[in-house]
Amino acid sequence: MIFATRARPASPRHPGKAGMDVKQAVQRQFGEVAANYSTSAVHLTGPELLALLDAYPFAGTERVLDAGTGTGHTALAVAPLVREVVAVDITASMLDQGRMLATERGITNITFQVGDIERLEFDDAGFDVVLSRYSAHHYPRPDVAVAEIARVLKPGGVFLLADVVSPEDPTADTYLNAVEVMRDPSHVRDHRVDEWRAMFKAAGLDEFVELGRWPLRLQFDSWVSRMKTPAATAAEIRRLLEIAPSEVRTALSVEPDHTFSIPVALMRGQVVS
């Protein structure tokens, strides 16, 4: 059977000034805190990671791309189940942390590579599975990123995305993304599940399904210290959470010490052959 080459999204090599600014912010922000993320309990484990590993019947022969790998926790978790993992991130110091973790654990089938998810330097149809966990809320043009992911997947290939998603309530959505940007200027948006569904469909990733959703409890002090959020900004975030409307406080399960919870969803799409 011959499969037609899937076209690249429009102008994937030209992200524009705004997109470049966000990517530079990601490199700057995470370059300074890479070591914090190598030991972050949020990123090291979690129910969404276990569900992600169970969401595909790995046979040990797969070539897997971990898109936006950060310090490599997802790549390290899937590596024993597959033939090869290519772990891509835009921030070199995050990849350095991943390499150290792989060496410590004796894992040798991961290649850590600097790269831009919106302009992947891989041939069409080169991967069986693409994974993305806690990365997609930094993509300046997530529709372009999803289209690139679809391009590098083989016919029948699967994309598994685990990320924070916004509540359906518009006020809670706005509040969540506002405090996220205050804490981390490289944050773009926690999208709603229906927004991801539309982006998957536009990229040719069919059979979209939300496989699960879990609350992610963010202990406030560790949440801001992990990103080295300035003290004055952290205080302003606390104030915003204190004066938030009741529907926001309920949606985010805001606690007396400003700890709050946000939903993490695992989503699946497939390139239909």
Domain ranges in the chain are 16-166+186-217+261-271
Please state, rounded to an integer, the average pLDDT across all residues of the chain.
87
Q: What is the arithmetic mean of pLDDT over 27-41?
A: 50
Lowest mean pLDDT among 7-21, 101-115, 223-237: 7-21
pLDDT band at 106 (very low <50, low <70, confident <90, very high): very high
pLDDT, position 152: 98
Q: Which helix (H) or strand (E) holds 84?
A: strand 84-89
Contact 87, 69 (CB under 8 A): yes
Q: What is the arithmetic mean of pLDDT over 91-112?
A: 94
pLDDT, position 178: 96
Sheet bearing 127-133, strands edge to edge: 110-114, 84-89, 63-67, 127-133, 153-164, 260-271, 205-218
Lowest mean pLDDT among 37-46, 103-112, 113-122, 153-162: 37-46
pLDDT, position 26: 52
pLDDT band at 134 (very low <50, low <70, confident <90, very high): very high
CB burial readout 98-113, b (16+ within 10 A) else e: beebbeeeebeebebe
More confident residue, 11 or 37: 37
| For residue 49, pLDDT beyond 80 | yes
pLDDT band at 46 (very low <50, low <70, confident <90, very high): confident
Q: What is the arithmetic mean of pLDDT over 33-59?
A: 74
pLDDT, position 11: 39
pLDDT, position 9: 39
Contact 171, 245 (CB under 8 A): yes
Q: What is the pLDDT of residues 223-249, one digit of tens each?
A: 999 888 999 999 999 999 999 999 999
Q: What is the arithmetic mean of pLDDT over 153-159?
A: 97
Q: Tell me the H-state helices in 45-191.
A: 47-54, 73-78, 92-105, 142-152, 170-183
Helix axes 142-152, 193-202, angle to 10 degrees: 50
Report pTM. Answer: 0.84
| For residue 254, pLDDT beyond 50 | yes
| For residue 54, pLDDT beyond 60 | yes
Q: What is the arithmetic mean of pLDDT over 25-49?
A: 57
CATH superfamily of 16-166+186-217+261-271: Vaccinia Virus protein VP39 (3.40.50.150)
